[in-house]
Structure 1
Amino acid sequence: MSETDVIERLGAFSERELWTAKGFCRIERALDVVGTRSAMLVVRELFYGGTRFDELARRTNLSEAVVASRLKQLHADGIVERRPYQEEGQRTRDEYVLTDRGRGLFPIVVALIQWGEGLKDDHRTGVELVHRDCDAPLSAQVRCEKGHEVPLDQAAVRLKDEKYVTALRSRARKPR
C-alpha cells in the first residue's frame, strides 16, 4: 500500500499514535444509528416506498421483533417519523416515512449499491438506480464544497477544532 492509498493526515492528527477516534468519530456515531444490516434493509425499503410495518417485515425478510426494534431506533434517532393511519374497520396503526435526516442517507444508499456492483455475483438480478429524466445510472461521487471531484489520493483528514480537541486530550492525560 502506498501513501496515496490512504487519506493524508494533517496538523495534530498527523501524530496518529496520540489520537483515538473513539467517542468523537462521525463514522462511529453514524454506525451507532444505521450500522446494522437490519437497519439498512429497513432504510432500503423505506427508500423504495415501503411505509407499513408488515410490508417492511415481509420485504426485508426480518422478524417482526427485529423490524420493530429497528424502527424504534430509527425513530429515536430522527431517521423516520410515525404517521397514524386507519383502514376501515381496523384499529389505528402507524406508518413510517423518512424524515429529512433519513432522506440524507440517499447518497450512502447510492454508494452502497454502486460498491456492491463490484462484488462477484450475478448483477442481472439486482436493481439499478437511474435518473428518471435521462435514464442514466446514478453514481456516488466525493466532491468538496467548491464542487471539485476528490479522489482518494487528494483527500486529507484533520481535526475539526484542533485547539479544542488537543485541550481535551491534555486534560484527559493529567492525573487527578
Structure 2
Amino acid sequence: MTDLREDRDAWSSANCSIARAMDIVGSRSAMLVMREALLGTRRFDEFVRRVGIGEPAMAARLKEMVAAGLLERIPYREPGQRTRHEYQLTRKGRELLPVITALRDWGDTWAADDAGPPVRATHRGCGHPIRAALRCAQGHDVEEGNIEILAGPGLVRKSDEGR
C-alpha cells in the first residue's frame, strides 16, 4: 500500500476524524472541563470554580458535552434540597485521558513557566511519571519516522466528491 502523504492532493480532508474531534472538544473550556472530569470533578459549581468560566457558559458547555456523549447527567439530592445533577464521565469521555495526558506532556515541556510543571502524574504502582506514547496494536513503541498513513474505509478521494 502507498503512504497517503505521497499524494495528498488526491484525497479530501472533508471526512477528517481530527476535525470531527475538534468540533466536540476543540475549545479551551471543553478541554478544561474534561481535565476536571478526569480529575474527579462532578458538580456544576466545582466545574465553574475550577475551569474559571461563568455559569451560563459552563451550563452550555456541559450540555454540549452530554449531547456528545462525553459526560452523563446523574441526579442527586442532598437532604432538604431540590434534586440536582452531577456529571459523570462516560467511556467515550474516559478515553480522552491519553489526549489530555499528551497535551499536559507537551505543555510541561514547551509551555510551563520557569518554576516548572504545576502537577505530576505518576504510576501509583511504581511512582514513575506517566507519559503519553505512540504504540501500535501489537504493543510496539512507534517513533514519528515509522508511521505510515494509509487509506481507511472512510477516505474520500477528491475525484469521488459530489458523486
Alpha-carbon distance in structure 1 between the residues aligned to 2:156 and 2:8: 13
- The alpha-carbon distance between structure 1 residues 172 and 146, as it changes in their structure 2 partners (threshold 3 A), is same
User: Shift of residue 147 of structure 1?
Assistant: 1.2
Alpha-carbon distance in structure 2 between the residues aligned to 1:26 and 1:125: 30
Count the aligned residue pairs: 161
Alpha-carbon distance in structure 1 between the residues aligned to 2:130 and 2:160: 47
Determine the structure 1 residue equivalent to 2:156. Answer: 165
Runs of 4+, deviation exceeding 2 Å: 122-125, 169-174
Q: Deviations over 1:120-146 (max 9, x none)?
A: 513546011111111111011101111
What letter corresponds to residue 9 of structure 2 in structure 1? E
Determine the structure 1 residue equivalent to 2:64. Answer: 73
**Other structure's SS at 1:87 match:** coil
Please tell me whether the aligned partners of residues 159 and 165 of structure 1 are also in contact (alpha carbons under 8 angstroms). no
Determine the structure 1 residue equivalent to 2:120. Answer: 128
Q: Deviations over 1:96-135 (max 9, x none)?
A: 0100110000111111111111125135460111111111
**Other structure's SS at 2:66 match:** helix
Q: Deviations over 1:69-93 (max 9, x none)?
A: 1111110111001100011111101
- The alpha-carbon distance between structure 1 residues 135 and 146, as it changes in their structure 2 partners (threshold 3 A), is same
What letter corresponds to residue 65 of structure 2 in structure 1? L
What letter corresponds to residue 134 of structure 2 in structure 1? V
Please tell me whether the aligned partners of residues 75 and 84 of structure 2 are also in contact (alpha carbons under 8 angstroms). yes
What is the TM-score of this pair, normalised by structure 1?
A: 0.84
- The alpha-carbon distance between structure 1 residues 68 and 131, as it changes in their structure 2 partners (threshold 3 A), is same
Determine the structure 1 residue equivalent to 2:16. Answer: 25
Segments of 5+ residues of structure 1 without an aligned counterpart are 1-8
Alpha-carbon distance in structure 2 between the residues aligned to 1:125 and 1:142: 22
Greater radius of gyration (CA): 1
**Other structure's SS at 1:97 match:** strand
Alpha-carbon distance in structure 2 between the residues aligned to 1:123 and 1:30: 32
Determine the structure 1 residue equivalent to 2:87. Answer: 96
What letter corresponds to residue 159 of structure 1 in structure 2? A
**Other structure's SS at 2:62 match:** helix
Alpha-carbon distance in structure 2 between the residues aligned to 1:28 and 1:118: 25
User: Shift of residue 161 of structure 1?
Assistant: 2.7
Alpha-carbon distance in structure 2 between the residues aligned to 1:60 and 1:66: 11
